[in-house]
Amino acid sequence: MSKPSDCIPVTEAQTYQANWNTINQPSTPGGLGQQVSAVTFNIDQLQEYLDYVKTESANQGIPKPGIRVYFAAYEAGTPAEVGASNTVFFCPSETDDKNSANNYNIDPLNKGGSGWPPNAY
């Protein structure tokens, strides 16, 4: 398999990450409300979700769904991610167009993990 055409150089990714860190400074260390800068998902978990979205979308007559990534935050005191409040989740969209509607008939994917302190890219 060849490299996808939309890959970016590592140095470009590092610049984007540094920009994010500059804009979103971590809150005080030691408790819920800290910022994380990355969320890790198991590749098998992601593939299973992508396969699920493709199958369910096809069943709904949607031939080319997209996946949208939302930045999100857990509620205060939620034990899902002790020590960090922010996360991401994946949501299917009806097409791969950036303005496509979300497909609310398929559940989003969350449950990734974020280490502390955050891993720098």
**Per-domain residue ranges of the chain:** 35-111
HEC profile of the chain: CCCCCCCCCHHHHHHHHHHHHHHCCCCCCCCCCCCCCCCECCHHHHHHHHHHHHHHHHHCCCCCCEEEEEEEECCCCCHHHCCCCEEEEEEEECCCCCCCCECCCCCCECCCECCCCCCCC
pTM for this predicted structure? 0.76
Q: pLDDT by residue (tens digit) across 8-47?
A: 888 988 888 888 777 776 554 544 445 667 788 889 999 9
